[in-house]
Structure 1
Amino acid sequence: MHRVIIVEDEFIVRYGICSMIDWEKIGLQLIGEAANGKEALELMEAEMPDILITDIKMPVMDGIELITAVRAASPDMKIIILSNLEDFQYAKEAIRHGVSEYLIKSDMMPRDFEQALLKVKESLDAVRKGPSGDTSSFQSEPVHKEKFLLELMEGSIAGAAESMEQARLLGMAPLHSAHLLHISLNAAEQGYTERQSAIRHIVERMRDELPWEVETFPDKQGDMNVLFMDAAGERVIGSTPMELLIHQAEEMIRRLSKEFGLTATIGIGGRIREWTDIKEAYAQAVRAAKQKMFLGSGRVMVHGSDELQASDVEADHFKISTHQIQSMVYAFQTKELMEYLEALFGQLAARRDVELVQIVSLELLMILTTLWPDVSNDAQQVLRLKKQYFDELAKLETLEQNRSWFIEAFEALARHMNEMYHSDRNSIIKATQYIQQFYHQEISLQSISSLVHLSKNYFANLFRKEVGESFLEYLTRIRIEKAKSLLTGDLRAGDVGSLVGIHDPKYFSKVFKKITGLSPSEYRQRIRDYGEDRGPV
């Protein structure tokens, strides 16, 4: 195993680095940690590491002093430097000492850090044996080729002359023609490290069988890419039948499935004639691979092919009605809800817009996770269910899988609500009895739903279903009925309103007239004239 030492003056950062990586799993051994450069050099007197991870700004001895001392003692040691974004200019001096990786602390995620370690580890495994101080050996390490290709993909190297010169310094032959393959794996299959290693293993095994030079490298998302190059100009890929390239991609898919149990989808970008074309070819390959959402995974997708042509269906006015879905759920309209979801996914299939599918799936997930707390009193169960939802949704690759998953999830919610309905009907009866008894007191939707131990939204919808009117409509009607009885006496209209829980005289008069068709005084006069209630109630 390659040995690692971590140098960082902040204990919490040092602890985080030590704990975020499963060192043994990725084939590395953490042999020590230090708070500054001086402590690190003392550690190295006992045992020299293969990889040094060091902060730049530290007390006693900073990172640059440490790197300078290390380079004098061990020119071949791999160095990863850590820095804050504001220290980048300071870090440039350290970079000139030939560090392997540079990471910004604030942006550093476990996956990014692990990827950096794996790159350095691979360079240790594959570095060419040469005399100490031979910079050509350093420059041609796989980690530097990968960084060069990644910069091309991101457009950081825009000039053709600059890219050709960098390729030459890295020992890469002049480029005549190439194609980029983007390999998309299901995120749920194995771990991040294992998936990358599997792809590298397969490509390496196939290298001798391929009629092209090959470079394998990850993108910022961790997905692997393979550059098939005809650097000599003798086997121009553009004049070679595309079937040959597709065949090689299909063989990679087959071997990944057979040897590692991985389901791969490969997107192939357009032809690359010079290094700077890699950016567009990468974007094309990624877009092609994403079409697995509609065409299925485990296959090769070629940019520009007929099956990948964009749909002519316009996506304008496409909108999910959250209110409509919630209303159907609360009204126990399961059949109508299923028809709505089927139609929704039918529209998505017609549009063939991957980003739109992702947006819609997220909206539907938010609706589910909003409804469940309303219909369950078990907070822990809801929390587990939410986590389960996010975990399961991350595994879905195709539109059909998304459709089936959401249909099943909403059906499960509907079944749960139907089971609850029979037991919760008594809660509505209890609520109506309470209103009839305490109508004169302050009663809100929140207070009455809490009284019967139901969530506010669920109670409101269940109340309307059982009673036939909303909670507020029912409460107001009961209050007006009581007021009508009191108006047969000599109490003033304003006092009657207060006695039934409506303390604003103007509002009481307005509500009373809205319900009965008469003002309180008109109603009282009607009763006195006719001796009975003949108002248009």
Structure 2
Amino acid sequence: MWNLLVVDDESIVRMGLRYMLDWESLGICWKAEAANGEEALRIVEQESIHFVMTDIRMPGMDGIELAQKIRHRKPEVQIIFLSSYDTFTYVREALRLGAADYLHKPTMDEDEIADTMQKVISRLKLTSHETPRRTEEEKNGLCLSLLDPFTFPAEPLQLLPELADVSYKEGYELAIIRKRCDAVQENEDAEQLRFLSILHLVGKLTAKDWGGLVFHRNLREIIWIAPVRPHTGNGDMPSYLKGMRQKVLELLNVRLIFACGPSPCRDITSLPDAYMSALLRFPRNEQSDSFIVRRAKEYVDRHLLEDVTLARVGESIHVSPGYLSRIFFKEIGENFSDYIIRNKMDIARKMLRETSRKVYEIAADLGYSNPYYFSKLFKDRTGLTPLEYRNQ
């Protein structure tokens, strides 16, 4: 039997959880419960506890601090967080701590709790054999590596064995989900918290209805890799996503857009192509550029007067230079280097009109040590030399 400790400052929540499930049938012993973090920590140190289910927000020592102390003293203990949608600033930290899972208190039901506990038990069995445990951040990074041919792992099914499940015998579907860019703009922290709410809800809905892996890129884009068939019955992914979009709108008041790959991938090595295809299928009247290209353009705008290279931009947004080069050209219609030059020449025209700085000084300001090369680039794009442009 696996020993469970439940921590919540509300006795009614602890009582509800205790009688919601037949814990013994899951192989779990309801070993103890606590009303606060201090009491829970004493129990963990005195008793043999395998996993702790704890509320995130509590008076005194909250769930995050409790998890930190448990991880420091007994890293093998698994942590399951109980959260509400208004506590996602804490959930972000929970993910960094390597939480086994987290449950949404207002909507969790018996099946969801049972599935979560079975998943944690599977993880406990692995850790009992000294198998290294990945944090959620590490797993997210591994999932992202499946989307880029330059980072695609040599043995993906060994690193992510869930993708070798029999449910994928017909292949892999891929979808990308984003918040509509015309939604209400918020500050960066609020945007991240809202995104975590969306990610959590999408993960729970897809796990219950269909299956697959849900992960994110830079807290801005959700990627879902799924079997061709849902858990039960039949269905197509676009229709399912339309229904899920409505649920997210009702629960979080957020409008989503999505795009799917054109067809299932028969082989897992085709996922990078499916991701690229899905990126290019987003409706242009709703969102013009992919998140990756928007981030790249933002970096260029901030650092245009510096030595901007494809490698530096790729490193700043966590994609390979080759991948960035291809998607940039497909979406913008010009090479990355041409985009840099065009923007620099726009600044050069402004400086020639509005300042009295010499041509070689303007060239140096824009990162061109050779003023003759700068003048050639300028004439290629304007039809005039810098002095002709200034004097016209």
TM-score band, normalised by shorter chain: 0.3 to 0.5
Give 1 or 2: higher helix fraction: 1
Q: Which has the bigger relative contact order, CA under 8 A and spacing at least 6?
A: 2
TM-score (norm 1): 0.32
